[in-house]
Structure 1
Amino acid sequence: METRALSLFLAVADSLSFSRAGENLHMSVSAVSRTIARLEDEVGQPLFHRDRRNVALTHAGVEFRDFALRTLSDWQQLQRSLDSEGELVGEVSLYCSVTASHTLLAPILAAFRAAYSSVEIMMHTGDQADGVNRVLSGQDDLAVTIRPLQLPRRLDFLPLRESPLQFCMPRMDCQVRDKVLAGAADTGSLDWESLPLIVPERGTTKELLDDWLRERGIRPRIYAQVAGHEAIVAMVSLGLGVGIAPQLVIDASGQGAQVESVPLRHDLPSLSIGLAALRQRLSSPLVRALWDVAGQTCEVSI
């Protein structure tokens, strides 16, 4: 599959016009049509719906557009790499939470910059629960995230750190803390129906928590569902409720000294935190380089 044909396909997909794409690329409409027809033969499906008035991408065309964009991007990066006499040049897009950027990525990025000084890291931050979808959709090359309970087939996962989940309560004197301590002292278990519980609104932590509660027949009082473990720890530190978060986040958060673990009869499961990437994207020298450095740095730190 030629890069020239992919570029032509993208021109048609962008303009949704065979004639306009031909004009921009100085090609006849018939030449554009023949090229698209050859691509459709290779793919085995139509890439465009077309009639006398309109041109639109098919479902296969939408997926092929993503493939063409990635392929041309990788080809351009490879050309830049060869032009620089073997030195990797370009950029890698990385998504992570604020906590991960401080606790996990600092040594990895330091080692990566030392080895590949001409590669730029484009970092985006947000709720780690969005990391997998951002990688699957092609928004980012890699994401630091919690390993999903069901790992998508298209995804590879590189473990970097294990962290147990913890319920945490305010360290300050308040009603929430008093209820936790009273329950633990009287019966050895907590009155979940009266405790305000702060939980993630989505993601692996929420799934694990739902399973843990269901197995024990607990119907908690949900005070709030929020995005991000950091926000949960902050709300707990203010005395608003009992929250759940990885120990890694609790330790790294600015409010870690204002919360403490809740005593439990049954421990919560641990989380595997690491890098996620599309298997197809790992064929990119730039993405593979960061992946390998992360793995090597993690082995050294352990």
Structure 2
Amino acid sequence: MEYKDLQVFLSLCSLLHLGKASQQLHMSASTLSRRLARMEEAVGAQLFVRDTSPMQLTAAGEQFRLHAEQTLLDWQQLRSAVGTDISDLAGSLTLYCSVTASYSFLADLLSRFREKYPNVDLRIHTGDAAESIPRVESGEADVVIAARPDQLPAELTFKSMASSPLLFIAPRSVSSVMPMNPADTDWSQVPMVLSESGLARTRVNRWFESAGIEPHIYAQVSGNEAIVSMVALGVGVGVVPELVLKNSPMSGRVRVLNVQPELEPFSIGLCARTQSLHEPLLQALWQTAVV
């Protein structure tokens, strides 16, 4: 088995989706599926449960993940020891992102960046997604993983890495909070759990305004992850990016509503100050990110 196979496997572990992983790795989904099948044949066990969304690691897959991470780490250390084509870039970068972004994008990006630039210290800070753009504008972060705002400030540059639909979610059980059919709903009476600020709040406000509805806001919270938890508890209906829902341990306790018109999806990627992109460390991270 080649080191590239291990890198491919870890990308799958990060994304848990053949289609998204194939786009990130620049190979067809069928090619990626065959490559995974060959790895499973070599290991002698099934590594993923494929008939779920997202896919799930099996017990053997979890053991193989640890093996892949350790093997690639050992390989990197060996290359460093013998001086084989390792970049001499050194220094530090500060990156800010939400917890969900760290699950969905950071693991793979960090793995590839550290392999290429082991002497660069990438300092990670996590928090509310709504704080991402203000952080990079103020200089508190060199780069952020964020959703592209409707109006990108002129001094910033954005590099898209993925798209995520923006979803209405309700408690899984039918209750007074939300009937099964959204078309029969008086939205002015639905208790809403929304983010305090940020792009999701802007877009759901616009949705209500275009429908001429005054929303009944039950709670305003900081961070999309908290919205999923509150909806799962049955207190109201929320709006979150699909990536947040997929990574939430409470996803099985909510349902996605078929609401029309749909909200505009998020474009998620790296964002940095344009004047800083010529700096070698930031340029190296920018080029490492896969579109």
Specify if TM > 0.5. Answer: yes
Distance 2:210 2:174 in 1: 31
Listed as ranges, the gaps of 5+ residues in structure 2 are 1-85
Q: Report the CA distance between 1:86 and its aligned residue.
A: 6.1
Change (3 A) 1:118 1:175: same
TM-score, normalisation: structure 1: 0.66
Q: Report the CA distance between 1:174 and its aligned residue.
A: 4.0
1:107 alignment partner, SS class = helix
Q: String of CA shifts for 1:241-278, please: whole Å, max 9, x gaps.
A: 00000111111111111111012232111111111100
Q: Report the CA distance between 1:104 and its aligned residue.
A: 1.0
Q: String of CA shifts for 1:212-250, please: whole Å, max 9, x gaps.
A: 111111111001111111111111111110000011111
1:231 is aligned to: 226
| Alpha-carbon contact 1:189-1:265 (below 8 Å) kept | no
1:199 aligns with 2:198: no
Distance 1:189 1:175 in 2: 13
Q: Which one of the candidate residues 272, 277, 282 is aligned to 1:282?
A: 277
Q: String of CA shifts for 1:1-33, please: whole Å, max 9, x gaps.
A: xxxxxxxxxxxxxxxxxxxxxxxxxxxxxxxxx
User: Which has the larger displacement, 228-237 or 263-272?
Assistant: 263-272
Distance 1:189 1:129 in 2: 32
2:187 alignment partner, SS class = coil
Please show how residues 3-82 of structure 1 align to structure 2 within 5 Å. Answer: none
1:151 is aligned to: 152
Q: Report the CA distance between 1:172 and its aligned residue.
A: 3.5
Q: Which one of the candidate residues 261, 265, 268 is aligned to 2:263?
A: 268
2:104 is aligned to: 103
1:250 is aligned to: 245
2:266 alignment partner, SS class = strand
Distance 1:153 1:269 in 2: 22
| Alpha-carbon contact 1:199-1:244 (below 8 Å) kept | yes
- Partner AA of 2:254 in structure 1: V
Distance 1:282 1:158 in 2: 12
Runs of 4+ aligned structure 1 residues displaced above 2 Å come to: 172-175
Distance 1:128 1:169 in 2: 21
Q: Report the CA distance between 1:200 and its aligned residue.
A: 1.0
Distance 1:128 1:257 in 2: 23
1:94 is aligned to: 95
Distance 1:86 1:113 in 2: 10
Choose 1 or 2 for highest CA Rg. Answer: 1
What percentage of aligned pairs have identical amino acids?
42
| Alpha-carbon contact 2:87-2:116 (below 8 Å) kept | no
| Alpha-carbon contact 1:88-1:119 (below 8 Å) kept | yes
2:179 alignment partner, SS class = helix
Q: Report the CA distance between 1:146 and its aligned residue.
A: 0.9
Listed as ranges, the gaps of 5+ residues in structure 1 are 1-84
1:209 alignment partner, SS class = helix
1:180 alignment partner, SS class = coil
2:139 is aligned to: 138
Distance 1:191 1:86 in 2: 60
2:261 alignment partner, SS class = coil
Distance 1:286 1:219 in 2: 48
- Partner AA of 1:237 in structure 2: A
Distance 1:190 1:273 in 2: 31
TM-score, normalisation: structure 2: 0.68
1:22 is aligned to: none
Q: String of CA shifts for 1:185-234, please: whole Å, max 9, x gaps.
A: xxx24211221101111111111111111111111100111111111111
2:249 alignment partner, SS class = coil
Change (3 A) 1:86 1:270: closer
Distance 2:224 2:231 in 1: 11
Distance 1:180 1:252 in 2: 25
- Partner AA of 1:238 in structure 2: L
